Amino acid sequence: MSSTNDKLNHLRQKIKDSDFQHSRGLSNEVSYYILAYDAEDELQVREEVKSIESQLNHETVGVDILEFNVYDIMWKILDDMGIKDDVLEMESDEGMSYLIEQLNNALEMTDSENMFVKYMKDHIPDKDVVIFVTGIGEIFPLIRAHKILNSMHQIIDDVPVVLFYPGKYNSLNLSMFGEAIEDNYYRAFQID
């Protein structure tokens, strides 16, 4: 298995490839990728994501990096809905299971165009981009990665998407922090 540093270096090179940028050579699959890494490497990954964005957005590689931090998006959406403070109190008043259920309902996670996907779709510029999805470890267990990915690929299918995942991915199963098993997700390619 590759180290986190090796995977990040591989991603840097991959992004510069025109075939990657334009989703060519994937046999009509959606161009979704998962860069799984050890949770203890979170700070390294955050720094490297910013570095990749900064470097590649200033170079002439033909594409810009657009980062969506789902944790930040969740709080923005809840604030816009006027329920952010209620959510903060909900866990202590009602418990984690109730909070998860209510958040998933409020964010319409069972809809093909849930609030995350709508937000992302509305913020994708009309130019070539590679989308980085970050913050999935911060939002766990409130929202699960597979729920975001399953709805994203129905709406965002014409640009490459890279999910940064603090856990394990074996091209079928996601395992947050290497322990909590999520539902199967098999549409993404691994960044090794």
Residue type, 108: E
User: What pLDDT does 176 receive?
Assistant: 84
Convert the chain into a string of H (helix), E (strand) and C (coil).
CCCHHHHHHHHHHHHCCHHHHCCCCCCCCCCEEEEEECHHHHHHHHHHHHHHHHHHHHCCCCCEEEEEEHHHHHHHHHHHHCCHHHHHHHHHHHCHHHHHHHHHHHCCCCCCCCHHHHHHHHHCCCCCEEEEEECHHHHCCCCCHHHHHHHHHHHCCCCCEEEEEEEEECCCEEEECCCEEEEECCCCEECC
Indicate the pLDDT class of residue 88, thresholds 50, 70 and 90: confident
Least confident piece of the model among 49-63, 67-81, 95-109: 49-63
More confident of the two residues 145 and 164: 164
In this prediction, residue 166 carries a pLDDT of 94
Backbone angles phi, psi at 16, to 5 degrees: -75, -15
Hey, where are the domains in the chain?
4-190
Res 142 pLDDT > 70: yes
Structure tokens, 156: 């965002």
Q: 10-27 pLDDT, tens per residue?
A: 999 998 888 888 877 655
* pTM of this prediction exceeds 0.85: yes
pLDDT score recorded for residue 1 = 54
Contacts of 137 (CB under 8 A, 6+ apart): 39, 42, 165, 166, 167, 176, 177
How do beta strands 161-169 and 129-134 pair?
Answer: parallel
Residue 6 clears pLDDT 90, i.e. is over it: yes
Q: What is the largest CA-CA distance in the chain?
A: 52
**Mean pLDDT to the nearest integer, 152-157:** 82
pLDDT: which is higher, 149 or 100:
100
